[in-house]
Amino acid sequence: MKLGWFRASEEARVMWTCHYSINYLRLRFPFSSPKAITCSISLSESSRFFLQSKRRYRGSQVVAMAAPGSLQKSEEEWRAILSPEQFRILRQKGTEYPGTGEYDKFFGDGVYNCAGCNIPLYRSITKFNPGCGWPAFYKGLPGAINRNPDPDGMRTEITCAACGGHLGHVFRGEGFRTPTNERHCVNSISLKFVPANSWL
């Protein structure tokens, strides 16, 4: 545990308590504020973390996303911690059958984390229902998702920036009335939903 200071606004400094774990860094503020705070801090020369406040929820907690590629594991290690179906989709780039996923028609209030490494990927307010049979979001959290063209050049794959887990594909210009004109088509099994009321 480590104590320190950083500037949260032009008016005030806030003391934070830093809890380290292998998957994420968590900062807890000693006050509640309705204002979202977004910032980044450098923990080393090669490691940067993106911080996104849990706006509108109890307390005022900030989740930090791990540096890109920081949670890589061997195939054997992934097989040991993932279910066979999670491994097939997250590590072997499989696809679940449309309409069968847990989160296809689910619209709870919270955050969707990567099922492989537990890093936050999407806020629930960006989820919408395009009727495609898979969970859809119009944008991810900044820095959370990588995009790579499929080998055939037909589609663009999206993966977790921290662990490289396969999420699905992103499509543009389909006519959905979203702020980004994008649809992140994501396998439910690649996600882990964290309800808003579970954040302490």
Q: Is the pTM of this model over 0.85?
A: no
For residue 49, pLDDT over 60 is answered with: no
pLDDT score, position 98: 95
Average pLDDT, integer, range 18-25: 35
pLDDT score, position 68: 60
Q: What percent of the chain has pLDDT over 90?
A: 60
Is residue 145 within 8 A of residue 158, CB to CB? The reply is yes
Average pLDDT, integer, range 32-49: 36
Binned at pLDDT 50, 70 and 90, residue 72 comes out as confident
Instruction: Write down all domains in the chain, each with its CATH number in brackets.
Output: 2-65 (no CATH), 75-198 (2.170.150.20)
Average pLDDT, integer, range 25-43: 38
Three-class secondary structure assignment of the chain:
CEEEEEECCCCCEEEEEEEECCCCEEEECCCCCCCCCEEEEECCCCCEEEEEECCCCCCCEEEEECCCCCCCCCHHHHHHHCCHHHHHHHHCCCCCCCCCCCCCCCCCCEEEEECCCCCEEEEHHHEECCCCCCCEECCCCCCCEEEEECCCCCCEEEEECCCCCEEEEEEECCCCCCCCCEEEEECHHHEEEEEHHHCC
H helix intervals, 46-129 = 75-81, 84-86
- Ranked by mean pLDDT, the top range of 1-15, 21-35, 70-84, 112-126 is 112-126
Residue where the block lists tokens 């499929």: 150
pLDDT digits (tens, 9 = 90+) for 168-200: 999 999 999 899 999 999 999 999 999 998 755
pLDDT digits (tens, 9 = 90+) for 109-155: 999 999 999 999 999 999 999 999 999 999 999 999 999 999 888 89
Coil/strand/helix, residue 102: coil
For residue 100, pLDDT over 50 is answered with: yes
Asked if 185 is an active-site residue, the reply is yes
